[in-house]
A and B are shown apart, each in its own frame.
Chain A
Amino acid sequence: MVEGTFSPERIVSVLDGIRKDPRKPRKVVAAMSGGVDSSVAAWLMKEAGVEVVGVTLRLRPCDDDLAVQRKACCGAEDSIHAKTTAGRIGISHYLLDYQDEFRARVLEDAWTEYTKGRTPNPCVLCNRFLKFGKLYTYACEIGAEGIVTGHYARVKPLSHGGMGLFRGVDPVKDQSYFLFALDRKVLETCWFPLGELTKGEVRDLARQIGLTNAEKPESQDACFGVPGEAFADTLRRVLGKEAIPGYFIDSLGRILGPHRGVHHYTLGQRRGLGVALGKRAYVSKIDPTTGTIVLSTEDEELHKSLLEATEVNWLDPSFQKEPFEGWVQVRYTQKPVAARVIPLSTDRIRVEFQERVRAITPGQAAVVYQGNELICGGWIC
């Protein structure tokens, strides 16, 4: 993390960038979680002379478990943080209740993916349908012209017209991966002022402007997770679903013992398996119809050089005609790998990697970049 790098000139240049932008809106809606990032993003827009209306989305369902309720129920605490912060920034703030939509469009979908032996990426779905989709509609309804969030990514004009999505300048924090599924029409109205800054700069700035109550833990999974409980298990409990039980087997088909339900496991997983094979073992296959999970001690079996992705969203449609060279990421935390990308149809691509990639996981997103520009992304089959 870059610390102590705060320089007023950098902030001034971000503000100037917003002020001089030809698409500068009169009024925007700021999605505020109560954390540092979204607070600083809202502050920057206001400072640049845009009227900002803060909103907090209430997403997570109320947990029936009282002990959990106290820790994390329905984000009530986050919304109080957000309200306090909005007050300090000097903007109005409203709460939007999307609990029903979150359950129907994000949680149910995520669970269905687990039952198919896949590993879902709920953040992408939530961004597409709620954080940006519903919020865009809401912004239009209240007479705002755009959306501002605390994502580390950049929106810049493309040479052939329209706006494109680019990585944030902080290589550690870049969050463009999670935004690949945004509707292009919505992207045109998005503002990510933090994309020009590093996390360290944002934190220093928050301190400078007195948004210190924004010092909360990073919001990875914070919109749904419960401390000390795996995401998939919270999901199962809250939705009241049954786990799919079954056995671990080795590559020769020998039963190694029972597991805790297929939703607990993802391809390539090493930790928390609870079986001893003498060597380090990995999840190499999940078969939800029989509940069988194959463990392998040969890591090489997990490496592949080819994938296909569906429901591809093109943020730069100029690439969708013919094959091109790009850099592809199959998980948020993974380094991009050079690859040839072949459009098979408007919503399907094949990716041929130049090296073998570990644990290409069905249900996760394959996101294609060229330089810093996000070209397209889709769901791994």
Chain B
Amino acid sequence: MERLYFDANATTPLHPDVYQTMEPYLKEEFGNPSSIHYWGQRARNAVEEARFQVANFLRCSPLEVVFTGSGTESNNLAILGLLSRLAEQRLSSLKNPGGHCIVSAIEHSSVLDPFRWLEGWGVEVTYIKADSNGRIDPDQVIHSIRAETFLVSLMLVNNETGVIQPVQEVGCVTRERRIPFHVDAIQGAGKIPVIPDELGADLLTLAPHKAEGPKGVGILYVRKGCKLSPLIRGGSLDGNLRGGTHNVPAIVGCGAAFARLDEHYIAEVGEKALLRDRFERSLEDRVGAEINGKGAQRVWNTSNVSFPAVAADVLLVRLDQAGLAASRGSACAAGSTKPSHVLLAMGLDRARVLSSIRFSFLPSITETQIDRAVDIIEECVKDIRNG
């Protein structure tokens, strides 16, 4: 059976060119970048070259790029590392930090969970809901800012709906008021420009495995002057912020993956929005599907589709059995059949949420694949509806 992979927002396959740059570092180039000898220096050069490539992508200084173990770790480092730093400076106490944060209610769990944990310690958190198209209102964020607000966090692109969030509008204000602003840009890379200076971000998260790079490495951009305290200590620290031996092959692959994502790449792949439109129109016409977030500006590769009178978890299994891989939302929440917190925060009713599936396309998507997928979906949906 030829299988179709429509779950690119969960992860992507490694690009062959990226793999090639990694290969020597899985074999003969085994050094530890922290060693002073020949082998260590070769590994260090590779890590710094990768850091340079990422900095180029972000149009920032390499000194502002920190390598971590995953996107989740980067998000945790941004949020909890900032609080630890405040505690060190005695601006807050770890036992009773106080203060206030603002975060959107549609963030990934790797952002929401640290904030929920902070709430348990006494930090007040304002959660901003989305409108029915899945977009956060920047004014609502701005109006929630208080004197004691010490962090605002907003994602660039939502992982479930693909809706682009008004990060820049928020960034202008936080910069003016000198409040640290964290942006989870994981789903934006390769789809829209990700430039912290333009977005007004002080902290920004990336994960190369969402863009044909390797797993096991994440990036946190930390603006010069924005002080964090490390969560993982020991040994030599990357940018003084993360202990542990560098995952050299993954870091090298990370650099290579982001080096591919220049303006030309983004423009070229962006034309595939036409395929997404074809996909959505076909589903609307043939099975009465409804597109979530349709009225908002979205990245080209994500379609969140509701199939009236069809249980999404049943449809997903049918699709998987028929060779089409999709998901109900974040892979990090998969396995639970709890309704998506993102769609609920958009005010969609429970029935619609429970009948919604996310399709996310790889850059290599073709018209033939789209048409075949629509055929499979139509057949499965009709089977379920006919009981």
Contact = CB atoms under 8 A, between A and B. Distances in A.
Interface stretch (A140-148, A172-180, A226-234): A140-148
A53 B320 CA distance: 11
B336 interface: yes
Interface string B328-349: 0000000111100000000000
A97 B321 contact: no
Contact of B317 (A79, A94, A97, A140): A94
A53 B314 CA distance: 13
Interface in A133-151: 138, 140-143
Given A53-B317, A96-B337, A138-B314, 12 more contacts: A53-B321, A79-B335, A92-B321, A94-B313, A95-B335, A96-B313, A140-B387, A141-B384, A142-B317, A142-B318, A142-B321, A143-B321
Interface string B364-387: 000000000000000000011001
Given A95-B335, A97-B337, A141 B314 contact: yes
B338 A97 contact: yes
B311 interface: yes
Interface in A295-313: none
Contacts of A142: 314, 317-318, 321
Given A53-B317, A92-B320, A94-B317, A143 B383 contact: yes
Interface in A96-153: 96-97, 138, 140-143
A313 to B, nearest CB: 25
User: Looking at B318, B337, B383, B387, which has the most chain A CB atoms within 10 Å of its CB?
Assistant: B337
B74 to A, nearest CB: 25
26 contacts: A53-B317, A53-B321, A79-B335, A92-B320, A92-B321, A94-B313, A94-B317, A94-B320, A95-B335, A95-B336, A95-B337, A96-B313, A96-B337, A97-B336, A97-B337, A97-B338, A140-B387, A141-B311, A141-B314, A141-B384, A142-B314, A142-B317, A142-B318, A142-B321, A143-B318, A143-B383
Interface string A13-42: 000000000000000000000000000000
A95 B336 CA distance: 8
A304 to B, nearest CB: 46
Sorting the interface of chain A by its residue count into under 10, 10 to 19, 20 to 34 or 35 or more gives 10 to 19
A185 B73 CA distance: 51
A97 to B, nearest CB: 4
A332 B280 CA distance: 55
A142 B317 CA distance: 7
B120 to A, nearest CB: 13
Interface of A: 53, 79, 92, 94-97, 138, 140-143
A102 to B, nearest CB: 13
A97 B317 CA distance: 14
A310 to B, nearest CB: 33
Interface of B: 311, 313-314, 317-318, 320-321, 335-338, 383-384, 387
Contacts of A94: 313, 317, 320
Nearest to A92: B320
A141 B386 CA distance: 10
Contacts of B336: 95, 97
A82 to B, nearest CB: 11
A305 to B, nearest CB: 49
A95 B383 CA distance: 21
A224 to B, nearest CB: 19
Residue of A92, A94, A95, A96 with highest tally of chain B CB at under 10 A: A94
Contacts of A79: 335
A-B pairs, 6 with minimum CB distance? A97-B337, A95-B335, A141-B314, A142-B317, A94-B317, A142-B318
Nearest to A138: B314
Contacts of B321: 53, 92, 142-143
Contacts of A141: 311, 314, 384
Nearest to A56: B335
Nearest to B383: A143
A74 to B, nearest CB: 10
Contacts of A97: 336-338
A92 B3 CA distance: 14
A101 to B, nearest CB: 11
Nearest to A140: B387
A95 B317 CA distance: 10
Nearest to A76: B335
Contacts of A138: 314
A96 B337 CA distance: 7
A140 B338 CA distance: 22
Nearest to A144: B321
A33 to B, nearest CB: 16
A306 to B, nearest CB: 46
A140 B314 CA distance: 10
Contacts of A92: 320-321
Nearest to B316: A94
A222 B337 CA distance: 22
A92 B338 CA distance: 21
B357 to A, nearest CB: 14
A373 to B, nearest CB: 33
A281 B204 CA distance: 70
A92 B337 CA distance: 17
A53 B338 CA distance: 22
A113 to B, nearest CB: 28
Contacts of B337: 95-97
